[in-house]
Amino acid sequence: MGFLKGILLLSCAGLVFGAEPQSKAPATMMKIVVRLTGPGIQPGSFSSLPKTIYSAAPHFARIEDPPDARQKIQKLTIIAEPDAYSVNLIDRKGTHAVDQGRAGDLHLPVILPFDPKHRLGNLDRLEFGSEVEFFEDAGAKKVAGPIINSKPTDAYELKFAGATATLVVKPDTKTPIKLSWQTPEGLYTYEYISYTEVPFDRTKFSKPTGIAFREIPSDTAGERG
């Protein structure tokens, strides 16, 4: 995995289109808004606030974090291969890097903040935008899900060491509704506030203006695999 992808992995937690011809721009992109709840996550805290993710695989991604008033940070991450921008919208400072790795291996991992030691194994490979594919490929058991807003749902269940992962989706479209992990510490859940396919908007992946950028030298020797 290239340096640029490493930035994205660390940010989930932020363009220049010279390397991507306009003819190759996708017609649509995914817009995903998620909110995390669980043990130790206080309502109204930074960790509980929604974040917005735009994905136009395999070359474009944008992550909009909520403001963190305590740390005076509001992070914006933009990937438009081969460029990556990470910006603090509060102090108007940011970094820019150019990826020297393979094209097309952009990832949007679902970060498990309660699993810093990677106890849950292959769940590290779960990504926003391909949740259903992950559960199906992993052999998840499909069962009747809970009734939500008076409507039935489907659920995919996977058991990992020390936890059960469950993805609840709409039966007709397989659109994710919530993604949860039952762990010894309690139940953690990503609630999908929005999960929609929208027309591709090039401006979402353009270089942010009014930002003082610091260039990060390319480091192909330190690429992550």
Alpha-carbon distance of 30 to 198, in angstroms, equals 6
Which domain does 211 fall in, by range? 3-222
Domain count, the chain: 1
Query: Which stretch of DSSP H or E encloses residue 162?
Result: none
Instruction: Please name the residues in contact with 7: beta carbons below 8 A apart, sequence gap of 6 or more.
Output: 14, 77, 79, 84, 86, 97
Q: Is the pTM of this model over 0.75?
A: yes
| CATH code of the domain containing 53 | 2.50.20.10
With the C-alpha atoms ordered 163, 37, 42, 65, is the resulting torsion angle positive or negative? positive
pLDDT per residue, tens digit, the chain (225 aa), is 333 333 344 343 333 333 444 447 899 999 999 999 999 899 889 989 999 999 997 899 999 999 998 999 999 999 999 999 999 999 999 999 998 665 556 778 887 777 777 777 778 788 999 999 999 999 999 999 999 999 999 999 998 877 889 999 999 999 999 999 988 889 999 999 999 999 999 999 999 999 999 999 876 434 433
